Structure 1
Amino acid sequence: MTRRSLVRSGLAGAAIAGLAPLPLLGATADLTLEIAPFTAEPTPKHRYKTLAYNGQVPGPLLRMRAGQATTVEVRNRSSREEVVHWHGLFLPSEIDGAMEEGTPMLAPGESRQYTFRPDPAGFRWYHTHTFAGNDLTAGQFSGLHGFLMIDGPRGAQSTAFDREVFLALHDWGGQMLASDDGSMMPSYDVSTINGKALGFGEPVRVKHGERVMLHVLNSSPTEVHWIALAGHSFHVVALDGNTLPTGQQKTVPMLRLAPAERISAIVAMDTTGVWVLGEVRKHVQAAGMGIVLEYEGANGKPKWIQPEELTWSYRQFAGSDESLTVDASEPSEPALPIRLIFSSKFEGHGAPERWTINGKSYPETEEPVLQKDKRYRLILDNQSHDDHPLHLHRHVFEVKSIDGASGLRGIVKDTVLVPAHSVAEVEFLAQHPGRTLFHCHQQDHMDRGFMMVFRYS
């Protein structure tokens, strides 16, 4: 039984019955997304029949102004039911884009308009939120992902840079393989940046002296990626679209992004030449994950400098000022704890494993009840052998403890990678009533039950 049929068997039915009506078609839309069949061609030898937005991968960059009403028309020209999730926005459950929260699916041939005031400002993204199973052309395995930039109010101060470049990391094709412990996992054919393998896409062209803001998204269905730019370093200014305080912005040699994470970093273009921006691990870059960065007037073969080790930690962005808070209106009382234990169980006889939260797989998972304006601490106890990128819809959270370090301040995200056999803690304010989905952002884990829904009292 699929996630779709499980939801329809009862959980979503009650939620959808009580929805406020969606805006009707007829008004002029500010933006349009069309979901339709598409053949992705990362290299001349790799062609994948999949789905995409507006005939391109990644989908078009959508820019909106924070707080300004925007109407998006979504047209489903595919043969599958679809839905668009507006990842990182504070939206009502009925339009957030998850059927588990009560967002209605778009039937084949159907169109619908969504009007909302986007919030918060920052680098977000949009993507499908459907079941894939072993179909590596569906769900997040497909081309249905795109950049979403919510600009702040006019006149608001921003970090100084000369221009922006948006980059999406993605893995394609392959097959589902059984691991040594009996679990199933995808093995990919090719890895890309902006839909093309290294050497087959257009280079990023820059000028000496520019300060370029790189907005990097990991849209991979399952894989964590490490990215470096030969001859340069990254000055990280935002995580998941949330700007770091000036004192917490750091210059680092490489970036690590789990599925659904975004990093915004300024790169000073001060080393003229032709360089490779790509995956640090040799076998992944060899599979295609890279893009050429070319200075004006430079020529020659792109250069790559292999880092000696993988380096990254959330802790390097933590503040020490105890006055730092996620929101000035947060309550003064201690956060209410909610412990979530993650593990897997194997059904045997060739059946795929089920992922569990507190011993139960979705849709049998508990539905913790939140009270509006209360602060909650999620204790994320990963007792499995896998790292998990964990995403909370419709909210952001502050990372309080991870990688063996506690007392962290000022790291605000919507997705966090919790290593195997470790415990992380995050806190959030319950400010957005409605059904709220929490899940692992690996497509295969989500499909196999790694989800739960919070509801407000």
Structure 2
Amino acid sequence: MAVNEIPPVTRRQALLAGGAAGLLLRPGTSHAAPSPASLPVRPTTLHIAPTTVELAPGITRRVLAYNGQVPGPVLRLPEGRPAWIRVTNGSDAPELVHWHGLDVGAVPDGATEEGSSIIQPGGTLDYRFVPPRSGTRWYHTHTMAMMDFSRALYSGQFGFLIVEPRRDPGRYDREVLLAAHHWDADLPDMPRSPEECATPRYRYATFNGRLMQAAEPIRVRQGERVLFRFLNASATETVSLALPGHAFTVVALDGNPVANPAPVSVITLGVAERVDAIVHMNRPGCWVLGPTDPIQQTTGLGRVIEYAGRSGSPVWTPPPASDWDYALFGGTAAPPVEELRLDGIFPMLFERRPMPDGMEGWTINGRSYADLPPLHVRAGGRYLFRWINLSGCAHPLHLHRHNFTVLRHGMRRIGPIEKDTVQIGRFDTIDALFTADNPGDTLFHCHHQMHMDYGFMQMLRYT
């Protein structure tokens, strides 16, 4: 098995459905840093350094990565127990590691805007925190790239972080971890229409750092129930996936159990989103698990699913249409906003603004990050984000150190779903409930690397 392949692990966490009402008001969670006496005897170590990644025989790239592999090592941390991770920076520039989806303190979160420490070249930093809730999280660099497509999320600095539950119900037979990533970014001419957005083009795309034609098939047996943990670790690209003849039963979004596990034929992930889905292997054959976008197919994104005793050319047939919809997983629709006890509503309008140097900048309520005052919240308060996208491209919206609960998508009230990143479509709106239950400076931003780098961020500050 190649160094950058993630081996399957059998009978891990089964993410069961939780009640929708529980998503509207979560019980309090402790975010205190662990005491030195409670830490593990030895730290888990990550080393940031240049490495050569083989996407396929004869196709190699020199990138920054963790521990010489892409993705980085899978980190499995026990729920509610202290974690100690030691990171050494062997690159030539300052770095940070962000623990995406973890409700941790501002200092270990890994964002300079929140006061997190920078790891200087040649330096070492210890991260200590207690992961309070189980689920599929991930870790990645949180630096800026601007127009350097070798840095930040264009590089190979990402990896799965699985917070293991205290109890393992074992409702599936094995798990498969697949992280999508795009390589060799190149920015074409800037868009001229207000409804267009600048997005890099990519030469290659991979699961777990390997092109489909160079990766070992995922070998399954008829009757198996396989938990797929999907992660979109791209810097800028949305990914929609299908597996012909099979349904994905979605059991968790961003690592959080959904109220209504539902089958879909297509899974769509905005940048930084995760989807946990169980597939019942009941269609023997040799199939392609791959993107529905023909352009992304040509870049090499995909993986062959091969049943025991079957061989031959893998089959791909596109789904008739995408049936992906957040509303499928939320259960009973949330009550109207007027019936919620709120401490405030934050309307946030997202717009694209041309910049003097020809690049495109991004604003929230007419201002970019450098000119935006923070949103003020009080500990224990309940607030509604009203996100309004006035641009012609989708945005993966991410809130650090907290989850939020999506209550309305477009014109529809939907059953509540708990997330840390949500994709807002072009000219779309989303209402999301946020409980200020983790004091400290908190960063909100679009996870599209170019949008974040060019102003699409705002701070939340506890009073």
**What residue is the counterpart of 1:433 in the other structure?**
439
For the 8 Å contact 1:23–1:114, the answer to whether it is kept is no
Alignment of 1:31-42 (within 5 A): 31-42=44-55
**What residue is the counterpart of 2:247 in the other structure?**
233
d(CA) in 1 for partners of 2:364 and 2:70? 34
Which residue, 373, 378, 397 being the options, matches 1:366? 373
Structure 2 portions without partners, runs of 5+: 1-32
Which residue, 105, 108, 113 being the options, matches 1:100? 113
**What residue is the counterpart of 2:65 in the other structure?**
52
Which residue, 299, 302, 320 being the options, matches 2:314? 302
**What residue is the counterpart of 1:389 in the other structure?**
396
Which residue, 452, 455, 460 being the options, matches 1:446? 452
For 2:324, give the aligned amino acid.
Answer: W
For the 8 Å contact 1:23–1:113, the answer to whether it is kept is no
2:133 equivalent to 1:120: yes
Instruction: For residues 101-155 of structure 1, give each alpha carbon's deviation from its aligned partner in whole angstroms, at most 9, with x where no partner exists.
Output: 11111011111211211122100000000011111111001100100100122x3
**What residue is the counterpart of 1:13 in the other structure?**
none
Q: Which TM-score applies when normalising by structure 1?
A: 0.89
Cα drift, residue 244 of structure 1: 1.1
114 and 174 in structure 1: CA distance in 2 versus 1, 3 angstrom threshold: closer
For 1:212, give the aligned amino acid.
Answer: V
d(CA) in 2 for partners of 1:441 and 1:29? 33
For 2:462, give the aligned amino acid.
Answer: Y
d(CA) in 2 for partners of 1:185 and 1:226? 17
Could you list the structure 1 runs, at least 4 aligned residues long, displaced by more than 2 angstroms after superposition: 20-24, 26-30, 43-48, 182-185, 308-311, 331-335
Cα drift, residue 165 of structure 1: 0.6
**What residue is the counterpart of 1:89 in the other structure?**
102
Alignment of 1:217-232 (within 5 A): 217-232=231-246
d(CA) in 2 for partners of 1:438 and 1:241? 19
d(CA) in 1 for partners of 2:404 and 2:381? 13
332 and 387 in structure 1: CA distance in 2 versus 1, 3 angstrom threshold: closer
**What residue is the counterpart of 1:282 in the other structure?**
294
**What RMSD, in angstroms, separates the aligned Cα atoms of the two structures?**
2.2
For 2:262, give the aligned amino acid.
Answer: K
Instruction: For residues 199-249 of structure 1, give each alpha carbon's deviation from its aligned partner in whole angstroms, at most 9, with x where no partner exists.
Output: 11121121221111000000111111100112211011000100012xx11
Q: Which has the higher contact order (CA 8 A, sep 6+)?
A: 2
For 1:319, give the aligned amino acid.
Answer: G
The secondary structure found in structure 1 opposite 2:295 is helix
Q: How high is the sequence identity, in percent, across the aligned residues?
A: 41
Cα drift, residue 21 of structure 1: 12
Q: Which TM-score applies when normalising by structure 2?
A: 0.88
318 and 199 in structure 1: CA distance in 2 versus 1, 3 angstrom threshold: same
d(CA) in 2 for partners of 1:72 and 1:109? 17
2:184 equivalent to 1:177: no
For 1:375, give the aligned amino acid.
Answer: R
2:342 equivalent to 1:334: yes
Which residue, 387, 396, 402 being the options, matches 1:380? 387
Structure 1 portions without partners, runs of 5+: 1-19, 324-330
The secondary structure found in structure 2 opposite 1:106 is coil
Which residue, 403, 409, 424 being the options, matches 1:418? 424
d(CA) in 2 for partners of 1:121 and 1:455? 26
For the 8 Å contact 1:83–1:106, the answer to whether it is kept is yes
For the 8 Å contact 2:246–2:283, the answer to whether it is kept is yes
For the 8 Å contact 2:191–2:198, the answer to whether it is kept is no
Which residue, 407, 415, 419 being the options, matches 1:400? 407
Which residue, 270, 273, 280 being the options, matches 2:282? 270
**What residue is the counterpart of 1:8 in the other structure?**
none
Which residue, 153, 162, 173 being the options, matches 1:162? 173
The secondary structure found in structure 1 opposite 2:451 is helix
- How many residue pairs match? The answer is 425
Cα drift, residue 351 of structure 1: 2.9
For 2:156, give the aligned amino acid.
Answer: G
The secondary structure found in structure 2 opposite 1:285 is helix
**What residue is the counterpart of 2:220 in the other structure?**
206
Alignment of 1:56-67 (within 5 A): 56-67=69-80
2:211 equivalent to 1:197: yes
d(CA) in 2 for partners of 1:335 and 1:293? 49
For the 8 Å contact 2:97–2:142, the answer to whether it is kept is yes
